[in-house]
């Protein structure tokens, strides 16, 4: 009777969650990755519609998207074309929500198979209070479908090769092929499911041999042959919608995997209060990002799972749960060992979340089962509900910004603000764009130049009178614009912590959990822009006049003070220029252009100690300011040649192909060992940069 009630609850809950997720997706923001992947999917569709004549999908030097299968994006764009859908992104968001719900359902069905409907209902509950996963399910057609394929591949692999299964059900074989093919069609990393399949198989056979003394060579061989056939079928199905893979199935897929494992594009991002490079993040970046953004109820259930390991062993589910745990731990350990380029919190590892939820629900279910006392069980259920309140309330209050949730370990989003990335996907720009369009129309603005920190071309597609383009936040004073849409990505941490962002020129701010995630700026003066134009045209006196006007209106932008100081130095007003550089560093102590410029000025004045301090601080602020290594090494070379060499070698460890550093290293040997110097010069000659 209890099981039947749980079954009814399960199906009602599942249907309700589907409806909720589809409704939530309707006003989701457009993410930055989504813009890039949609454009690439159009190129992929053009490749197939022209029978390979349109090869733009194969030439992606800036985005590297040819290395992605991104089949779900491609299928979605094909549907958009066939159905003649006008609102492209709204349909994409529906498709993303559908994939997210499917991932939830596969995980829940896995739970039913593993330990019954009680665990499955807990799976649904844990997903329902998982803001990060649900948030990404609104607009992430890359990571969410991969999460679906990953959990499906594990589920159907274990259904086939588990030790107590001697026959391969044709339906399970078909679903396994489709799951692995889907994973490969999204990312080359989907090949890991084939590795899991064979790992599970061999361990299952060993398990049967040592526990049941069952071994048959002929049986082993025919199963192996079947697994090989499954793998090949999945592989070739997986590349059908992937142009680059079709041109070289084995070579290009292997290359794509290598590129994705060591992604060439690097980014600076907030982590633990400082801007760090994605290819030099601390080893614990992914585990900590997960720890502070996964709801505490999910973490509690996950750790409870290990407490009941003995019970799971006695239940006969040791092999299945053990292998499931392997699929969670292996990717995490692997990425730490190879020091992968990781960024955007743990978005790239969302595929692990269904496994985490499954194990967490299993742990909570075990806790409920062992509690025979009815009052204790009620108390545990109440505790589960109470600990679900924090993420649930966050989602209710902050839709559609669910994905920037932080748990109580860091004080929620308010506590994490300024120390960790929040709207790294630029989704708030969609709401800001809608507000700005309405604002411009209400004020009868016939034309406007609008800048944004990522493309807002789509929201403004029906308003050609408003010209939009990209703008880097720190360069905002050097461009011509009337309004700017700025998210809190790439904002210096000091601005965020000191509440200098959003600035006083903001006319609209978007908040999540009472902290700003996006702002719309209205330009009060273009004197800063005109001053910069005069500066680069070498009209220094004119530039000074414009900058004098600009700083009276805007005293929050360090770039204005920097450019003002440059203009003053060119007119011989070095003392006043120094004071303005000091103001710029008060606003932002780590402002790189000022640190470099101040160091250069100190060198010209023969103030070596000051120059040394500026360059050293610059390297501390940004370890990839390669030119600063050269300049600092030049200062050190005369008195401490060994330290100069150490510094240059440190630079080359970060960027082995940086030619100026190789030449500078050769120069340190020029007076002491000309042969070593020549060796470095010859090496430099082989590098073209």
Helix, strand, coil in percent for the chain, rounding step 5: 70, 5, 25
If you average pLDDT over residues 675-686, what whole number do you get? 94
- In the prediction, which pLDDT does 218 show? 78
If you average pLDDT over residues 442-468, what whole number do you get? 96
- Of 124, 121, 115, the closest CA to residue 6 belongs to 121
Residue 374 has pLDDT above 90, yes or no: no
291-302 pLDDT, tens digit each: 999 999 999 999
If you average pLDDT over residues 466-475, what whole number do you get? 96
Please give the Cα distance from 488 to 417 (Å, whole number): 10
Percent of the chain with pLDDT over 90: 88
Is residue 284 packed enough to be buried (19+ CB in 10 Å), middle (13-18) or exposed (0-12)? exposed
- In the prediction, which pLDDT does 359 show? 97
Least confident of 202-211, 409-418, 478-487, 488-497: 202-211
If you average pLDDT over residues 379-402, what whole number do you get? 95
If you average pLDDT over residues 357-381, what whole number do you get? 91
The model's confidence at residue 527, banded by pLDDT at 50, 70 and 90, is: very high
440 near 448, Cβ under 8 Å?
yes
Residue 338 has pLDDT above 70, yes or no: yes
Element holding 274 (H helix, E strand): strand 274-277
If you average pLDDT over residues 440-455, what whole number do you get? 96
- In the prediction, which pLDDT does 125 show? 97
- Of 474, 429, 423, the closest CA to residue 454 belongs to 429
Please give the Cα distance from 620 to 618 (Å, whole number): 5
If you average pLDDT over residues 614-630, what whole number do you get? 97
Residue 53 has pLDDT above 60, yes or no: yes
The model's confidence at residue 504, banded by pLDDT at 50, 70 and 90, is: confident
Please give the Cα distance from 371 to 652 (Å, whole number): 60
If you average pLDDT over residues 126-131, what whole number do you get? 98
- In the prediction, which pLDDT does 163 show? 82
- In the prediction, which pLDDT does 111 show? 97
Cβ-proximal residues to 613 (8 Å cutoff; 6+ apart), any chain: none
If you average pLDDT over residues 36-64, what whole number do you get? 95
The model's confidence at residue 353, banded by pLDDT at 50, 70 and 90, is: very high
The pair of three-digit structure tokens given for residue 583, joined into one six-digit string:
């103001």
Residue 610 has pLDDT above 70, yes or no: yes
- In the prediction, which pLDDT does 2 show? 62
Least confident of 34-48, 155-169, 605-619: 155-169
The pair of three-digit structure tokens given for residue 359, joined into one six-digit string:
């194990």
- Of 379, 369, 397, 227, the closest CA to residue 311 belongs to 369
Please give the Cα distance from 609 to 602 (Å, whole number): 8
242-283 pLDDT, tens digit each: 999 999 999 999 999 999 888 888 999 999 999 999 999 999
Residue 128 has pLDDT above 60, yes or no: yes
Using DSSP bridges, classify how beta strands 466-470 and 515-522 pair: parallel, antiparallel or unpaired: unpaired
- In the prediction, which pLDDT does 642 show? 95
What is the rounded average pLDDT for all residues in the chain? Answer: 94
Cβ-proximal residues to 634 (8 Å cutoff; 6+ apart), any chain: 644, 664
Please give the Cα distance from 276 to 621 (Å, whole number): 9
- In the prediction, which pLDDT does 648 show? 97
- In the prediction, which pLDDT does 261 show? 82
Residue 1 has pLDDT above 60, yes or no: no
> Which position has the higher pLDDT, 139 or 375?
139
- In the prediction, which pLDDT does 564 show? 98
The model's confidence at residue 207, banded by pLDDT at 50, 70 and 90, is: confident
- In the prediction, which pLDDT does 260 show? 86
- In the prediction, which pLDDT does 263 show? 85
If you average pLDDT over residues 282-289, what whole number do you get? 97
Angle, CA 293 vertex, CA 292 and CA 294 arms, to 5° = 105
173-194 pLDDT, tens digit each: 999 999 999 999 999 999 999 9
**What's the whole-model pTM score?**
0.94
- In the prediction, which pLDDT does 257 show? 92
210-253 pLDDT, tens digit each: 877 767 787 889 889 999 999 999 999 999 999 999 999 999 99
Please give the Cα distance from 139 to 96 (Å, whole number): 6
């Amino acid at each position: 009777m209890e099981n039947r009630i749980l079954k009814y609850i399960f199906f009602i809950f599942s249907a309700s969650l589907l409806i909720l997720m589809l409704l939530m997706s309707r006003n989701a923001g457009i993410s930055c990755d989504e813009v890039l992947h949609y454009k690439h999917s159009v190129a992929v569709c053009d490749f197939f519609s022209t029978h390979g004549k349109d090869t733009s999908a194969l030439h992606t030097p800036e985005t590297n998207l040819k290395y992605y299968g991104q089949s779900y994006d491609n299928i979605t764009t094909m549907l958009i074309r066939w159905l003649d859908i006008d609102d492209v992104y709204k349909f994409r968001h529906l498709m993303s929500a559908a994939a997210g719900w499917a991932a939830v359902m596969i995980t829940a069905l896995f739970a039913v198979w593993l330990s019954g409907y009680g665990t499955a209902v807990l799976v649904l509950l844990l997903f329902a209070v998982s803001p990060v996963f649900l948030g990404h399910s609104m607009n992430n057609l890359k990571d969410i479908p991969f999460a679906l394929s990953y959990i499906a591949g594990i589920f159907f692999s274990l259904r086939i090769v588990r030790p107590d299964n001697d026959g391969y059900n044709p339906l399970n074989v078909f679903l396994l092929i489709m799951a692995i093919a889907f994973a490969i069609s999204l990312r080359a990393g989907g090949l890991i499911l084939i590795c899991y399949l064979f790992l599970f198989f061999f361990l299952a056979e060993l398990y049967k041999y040592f526990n049941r003394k069952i071994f048959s060579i002929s049986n082993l061989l025919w199963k192996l042959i079947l697994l090989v056939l499954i793998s090949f079928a999945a592989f070739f199905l997986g590349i059908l919608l992937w142009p680059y893979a079709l041109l070289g199935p084995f070579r290009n897929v292997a290359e794509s995997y290598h590129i994705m494992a060591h992604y060439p594009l690097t980014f600076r991002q907030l982590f633990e209060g400082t801007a760090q490079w994605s290819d030099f993040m601390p080893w614990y970046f992914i585990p900590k990002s997960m720890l502070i953004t996964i709801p505490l109820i999910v973490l509690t259930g996950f750790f409870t799972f290990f407490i009941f390991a003995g019970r799971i062993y006695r239940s006969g589910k040791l092999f299945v749960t053990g292998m499931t745990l392997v699929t969670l731990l292996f990717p995490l350990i692997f990425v730490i060992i190879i020091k992968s380029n990781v960024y955007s919190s743990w978005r790239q590892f969302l595929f692990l979340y269904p496994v985490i939820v499954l194990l967490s629900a299993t742990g909570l279910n075990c806790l409920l089962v062992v509690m025979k006392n009815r009052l204790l069980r009620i108390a545990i259920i109440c505790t589960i509900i109470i600990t679900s309140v924090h993420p649930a309330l966050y989602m209710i209050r902050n839709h559609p910004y669910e994905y920037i949730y932080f748990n109580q370990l860091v004080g929620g989003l308010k506590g994490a603000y300024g120390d960790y990335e929040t709207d790294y996907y630029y989704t708030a720009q969609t709401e800001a764009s809608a507000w700005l369009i309405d604002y411009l129309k209400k004020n009868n603005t016939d034309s406007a130049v609008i800048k944004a920190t990522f493309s807002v071309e789509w929201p403004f597609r029906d308003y050609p009178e408003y010209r939009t383009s990209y703008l880097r936040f720190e360069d905002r004073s050097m461009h011509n614009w009337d309004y700017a849409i700025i998210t809190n990505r790439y904002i210096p941490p000091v601005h965020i912590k000191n509440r200098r962002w959003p600035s006083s020129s903001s006319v609209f701010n978007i908040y999540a959990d009472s902290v700003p995630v996006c702002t719309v700026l209205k330009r009060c003066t273009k004197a800063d822009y005109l001053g910069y134009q005069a500066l680069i045209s070498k009209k220094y006196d004119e530039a000074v006049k414009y900058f004098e006007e600009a700083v009276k209106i805007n005293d929050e932008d360090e770039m204005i003070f920097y450019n003002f100081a440059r203009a003053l130095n060119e007119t011989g007003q070095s003392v006043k220029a120094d004071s303005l550089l000091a103001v710029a560093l008060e606003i932002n102590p780590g402002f790189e252009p000022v640190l470099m410029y101040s160091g250069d000025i100190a060198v010209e004045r023969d103030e070596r100690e000051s120059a040394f301090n500026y360059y050293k601080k610059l390297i501390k602020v940004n370890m990839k300011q390669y030119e600063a290594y050269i300049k600092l090494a030049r200062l050190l070379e005369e008195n401490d040649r060994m330290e100069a060499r150490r510094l240059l070698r440190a630079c080359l460890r970060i960027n082995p192909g940086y030619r100026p550093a190789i030449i500078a290293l050769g120069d340190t040997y020029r007076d002491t060992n000309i042969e070593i110097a020549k060796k470095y010069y010859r090496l430099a000659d082989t590098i073209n940069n």
